Amino acid sequence: KQEVTQIPAALSVPEGENLVLNCSFTDSAIYNLQWFRQDPGKGLTSLLLIQSSQREQTSGRLNASLDKSSGRSTLYIAASQPGDSATYLCAAQYNQGGKLIFGQGTELSVKP
Amino acid sequence: GAGVSQSPRYKVAKRGQDVALRCDPISGHVSLFWYQQALGQGPEFLTYFQNEAQLDKSGLPSDRFFAERPEGSVSTLKIQRTQQEDSAVYLCASRAGELYNEQFFGPGTRLTVL
């Protein structure tokens, strides 16, 4: 069964810290891996998408990596800010045009 | 308003009532997905449309759940005889087509069954 897991479920850090969020997936035959942000009461905002042929993607202070052989992806957030507080979800897609399989999310709180 | 919209944003139903949730995808988007997100969990796939064709409904939890997209644009998710375990946020996402990867999500409908 294709499953996606995120650890930890919640994380609290002081402002300015660099941090890493972890995502693991059971089936390495991944088509792409996406990271989303979800604010309370809101839908999902796409942050980064890594194709299976890529190792990482960067956008501003965010960097996402993909290691298919170990079934892992990480989202690195540099110089965290209170505005980064949200739930971060990773999702695996296994075929073109296919559905997303989500992890449970990591709830991030950045304290001023 | 170029994004995905959903209505209502909040719905409270008594157990046993039928509900209908609406999704307006981004104009011209061919693909449409429904996901269910329980409190504290990630979204789980319910069903998928390509234009008006429902290509995958493997995630629908029971035959009380029914989705349609008759003209290949607006979609409705219907839940009959609602149960307390149906309480969740129902998210709709649209995508330009099968060759595109990014799904654009609506704000969701929060359903509470009393």
The shortest CB-CB distance from A102 to any of B42, B48, B97 is to: B42
State the average pLDDT for chain A: 94
- Over chain B (114 residues), what is each successive 10-residue block's mean pLDDT? 90 98 96 95 96 95 97 97 97 86 92 98
Residue in chain B lying closest to A35 (CA): B102
- The contact set of A with B (CB < 8 A) is 4, 6, 32, 34, 36, 41-46, 49, 51, 89, 91, 93, 96-97, 99-105
CA proximity to A91, closest of B40, B43, B3: B43
Q: Is the pLDDT of residue A108 over 80?
A: yes
* % chain A with pLDDT above 70: 100
For residue B50, the chain A residues in CB contact (below 8 A) are 97
Q: Is the pLDDT of residue A46 over 70?
A: yes
Q: By the CB < 8 Å criterion, does B28 face chain A?
A: no
| CB-based burial, B20-50: b 16+ in 10 Å, e otherwise | ebebbbbeebbbbbbbbbeeeebbbbbbbbb
* pLDDT score of A67: 95
Torsion of CA B100, B104, B109, B111, to 10 degrees: 50
Chain B nearest-CA distance from A88, in A, is 10
